[in-house]
A and B are shown apart, each in its own frame.
Chain A
Amino acid sequence: MKKVFERPRLLKPATFHFCPGCGHNILHRVIAEVLEESDFRERAIMIAPVGCAVLAYFYLDIDVTEAPHGRCTAVATGIKRAIPNSLVFTYQGDGDLASIGAGETLHAAGRGEKVTTIYVNNANYGMTGGQMAPTTMLNQVTTTCSAGRSAEREGYPLDMSKILASLPGVCYVERVALTSPANVQKFKKALRKAFQYQTEGLGFSLIEVLSTCPTNWKLTPVDSLKWIEEVMTKSYPPGVLVDRKANRGDSE
């Protein structure tokens, strides 16, 4: 009998600590699947963030280091410069990347570091219990903007992908909404492409993932998916924000 579904080899036999219905569950699995293909695994070095995904090293059977909160892309720079042939990728939440790590992110991208970032946007600080993040949308309620985010009080949300896409050192930015099997495939394709571009030395690449956090959104897993489709994608529309190779006309 042919096996149609199995545990990716690179996923260690550990139980995820994530909440039920959390987008991190899916992402970890899919990353394992992509890494299994080609020679990615033996070159890969991952930088885990401070956030709900900090325990990535318990799940993925590849080389992983932790970084202080927000400093992933600085650590990635160090690794990549030390081993230029490695496949270096960071996995960061929106608080980690767009708030405390905004400086490191901007400058790694600005320098055009040949690393890849998976940017998990769940519009709040998951791990610390649902505080406002830079991505929290206007009127969205969190524990530190209990009256809903207001432009006057808390200021406007930041769209980091859009900002980064404008930098010449950045070769590829795509945003996907992790809401359906078809969209999961889109993420896989994007990740493969980002790894390919990194291997070709084209520059900094980033994939933003709109990802569920049912616990802090106080929604069921199913309603969380709906909320991404109906609310989040209005502020953060999925699609390719920049693809310099395609623009040059020499993509596959």
Chain B
Amino acid sequence: MKSSANKVLLSGNHAVAEAAIRAGCHLYFGYPITPQNEIPEYMSEHLPKIKGGAFVQAESELAAINMVLGAAATGRRVMTTSSSPGISLMQEGISYLAALELPCVIANMVRGGPGLGNIATAQSDYFQSTRGGGHGDYRTITLAPCTVQEIYDLTQLGFYLADKYRGPVIIQGEGLLGQMVEPVELKEPDKKDLPPKDWALTGAKDRPGRMLRSLILEEGILEEHNWKLNRKYLEIEKKEKRFESFRMEDANLAVVAYGSVARIAKGAIKRVREEGLKVGMIRPISLWPFPGEAIRKAAEKVSQFLVIELSCGQMIEDVRLALAGKAEVNFYGRPGGGVIPNPAEFGRVISRNYYQKVRKAR
């Protein structure tokens, strides 16, 4: 039994809000959308009570993300949250945030799409988050929690990384994770070694004026700007890959899954292990940068990978890229917005894949 002395029960949505407030994010701009309304509601209740805090219900997600842009330009910590259709509307702003190198955290409690879809949980926004989403040559750090505690931790980490690398960070939540309630330890955020915000617009008192711009017409300068951004992305790829490795020590088959699906798959793996199947899991925690080496390295011992997603197959492309044909990659997925699979279902799929391979090998 673990110590639970300083734990509290929080829903995933409230954990996002509480983590942000404790990380010093006292500015929030957002627009209602299910299944994440508990976040703006919580913020509207708490932020006005904090000195210097502000909550604004924007007239749209388009406005919300640009309010975030403005607040981020002043160097203060700021966030917005939404769910899939709202995040789509924010893409223009996210492209500008990346171009202007402004730190902020954006949480997406993914729901079923495309279009209006429905409010049930899904993982169908993987491409949108990891490929930039808007126009231009940019990337957004994307962190995918699988428990409420991790939602809390990664939200705080998100603010840290946003400040460290100057850019928007996406917390890839899911409807289910936002709604569920779990014990959470309210840790204090890490703030060490962050660079000074010597770019922030605070009024040019006793210093030359500063500018934030993404319109770059001078010959060769836009290219230089993009190279600079690229160097930053390469550094992030080098330093900020995160994943969890579960029972990989003797595995013949490796499941690759993230978020809610990973926790359900973990239950499935425990079941099939009891039947003697040697199965493990690699769970990407950062979806971008994607922990490709970890998967490539696993392929030295594992010949079969099974990607499971609550979508028709998005992350599988990154797994295939990482493996570059070194191992067999299979897929099991269901479109989001429907039934939440259970460990028994995943267990059956894992066994089937496992034995098919063994039969082929004979």
Is A bound to B? Answer: yes
- CB-contact partner of A69 in B34, B45, B55, B85, under 8 A: B85
Residue interface bits A99-117, CB-to-B below 8 A is 1, else 0: 1101000000000000000
Identity of the chain A residue whose Cβ is nearest the Cβ of B60 in the assembled complex: A100
**Does residue A45 face the partner (Cβ distance < 8 Å to B)?**
no
Are A144 and B44 within 8 A (Cβ)?
A: yes
Total of A-B residue pairs, C-beta within 8 Å: 51
Are A54 and B59 within 8 A (Cβ)?
A: no
- CB-contact partner of B41 in A68, A102, A131, A134, under 8 A: A131
- CB-contact partner of B57 in A66, A68, A102, A131, under 8 A: A131
- CB-contact partner of A128 in B37, B45, B59, under 8 A: B37
Contact residues on A (Cβ < 8 Å of other chain), bracket: 20 to 34
Starting from the known contacts A100-B60, A132-B57, A144-B44, 17 additional A-B residue pairs (CB-CB under 8 Å) come to A68-B116, A69-B60, A70-B60, A95-B32, A99-B31, A100-B59, A100-B61, A100-B62, A129-B34, A131-B32, A131-B57, A134-B59, A143-B41, A144-B32, A144-B40, A146-B44, A153-B48
User: Which residues of B lie under 8 Å from residue A129 when comparing CB positions?
Assistant: 32, 34, 37
User: Which residues of A lie under 8 Å from residue B31 when comparing CB positions?
Assistant: 99-100
Contact sample, A vs B, 24 pairs, CB 8 Å cutoff: A66-B116, A68-B85, A68-B115, A68-B116, A69-B60, A95-B32, A100-B59, A100-B60, A128-B32, A129-B32, A129-B34, A131-B32, A131-B37, A131-B41, A131-B57, A132-B57, A134-B59, A143-B37, A144-B41, A144-B55, A144-B57, A146-B41, A146-B45, A154-B57
Q: What's the Cα separation between A30 and B31 when bound, in Å?
A: 32
Q: What's the Cα separation between A201 and B41 when bound, in Å?
A: 44
**Does residue B229 face the partner (Cβ distance < 8 Å to A)?**
no
Within 8 A of A (CB), among B11-33: 31-33
Are A131 and B45 within 8 A (Cβ)?
A: no
User: Which residues of B lie under 8 Å from residue A99 when comparing CB positions?
Assistant: 31, 59-60
**Does residue A50 face the partner (Cβ distance < 8 Å to B)?**
yes
Residue interface bits B68-112, CB-to-A below 8 A is 1, else 0: 000000000000000001000000000000000000000000000
User: Which residues of A lie under 8 Å from residue B55 when comparing CB positions?
Assistant: 144
User: Which residues of A lie under 8 Å from residue B33 when comparing CB positions?
Assistant: 128
Which has the most chain B C-beta neighbours within 10 Å: A129, A131, A144, A153?
Answer: A144
User: Which residues of B lie under 8 Å from residue A69 when comparing CB positions?
Assistant: 60, 85
**Does residue A125 face the partner (Cβ distance < 8 Å to B)?**
yes
User: Which residues of A lie under 8 Å from residue B48 when comparing CB positions?
Assistant: 153
Q: What's the Cα separation between A70 and B55 when bound, in Å?
A: 22
Q: What's the Cα separation between A50 and B341 when bound, in Å?
A: 29
Q: What's the Cα separation between A190 and B40 when bound, in Å?
A: 38
Identity of the chain B residue whose Cβ is nearest the Cβ of A145 in the assembled complex: B44
Which has the most chain B C-beta neighbours within 10 Å: A129, A131, A145?
Answer: A131
